[in-house]
Amino acid sequence: MTRVHPAPLAAALAGAALALAALPAATAAQPAPVAPAARPDVAKGKAQFARCMACHSVDPAKPRGIGPNLAGVVGRAAGKQPGFKYTPALAGARFKWTPEKLDAFIAKPREVVPGTNMVFAGIADPAARKALIAYLGTTGK
């Protein structure tokens, strides 16, 4: 009654085998995992940080590039990284980089700090900004 016709079964098995054979190739094309799966937001944020890396580092061995080092920036006073020559706009800032301030700045740098020379258009996607700030929060510890 439930006898399966051999031909379709063989075809189905061949299809499954093909799908399996394709898997390792697809996996190899992905970038290496960057953080434990327990913090997927951090992994996503680390990928977002690629947009900042032309000018910023979170490596303490690289205190500054075009922009100041951002290791431990969450909670840090704005415009006070020793040895970095800020614009007067940021050097004279009187606030801390809370997650909320960072979120607004990464969205529209010049609206939060008028006169900054950070030449960056901003990240419009709120989820991308949130992930990036979660990642920055893990740096400098």
- Cβ distance to ligand HEC smaller for residue 22 or 62: 62
Residues near ligand HEC (CB under 6 A), total: 28
Q: Pick from 57, 79, 112, 131: which binds ligand HEC (CB under 6 A)?
A: 79
From the CB of 105, what's the least distance to ligand HEC, in Å?
A: 6
Query: Could you give phi then psi for residue 77, rounded to 5 degrees?
Result: -70, 140
Q: Does 86 bind ligand HEC (CB under 6 A)?
A: yes
Tell me the residue type at 120.
F
Q: Does 89 bind ligand HEC (CB under 6 A)?
A: yes
From the CB of 123, what's the least distance to ligand HEC, in Å?
A: 6
Q: Which of residues 21-60 bind ligand HEC (CB under 6 A)?
A: 51-52, 54-56
b or e along 81-116 (b: 16 or more beta carbons within 10 Å of the residue's beta carbon)? beeeebeeebeebeeebeeebbbbbbbebbebbeeb
Calpha distance 33→48 (Å, rounded): 14
Give the interface with ligand HEC as residue ranges (CB under 6 A). 51-52, 54-56, 66-68, 70, 73, 78-79, 81, 86-87, 89-90, 97, 102, 105-106, 116-120, 123, 132
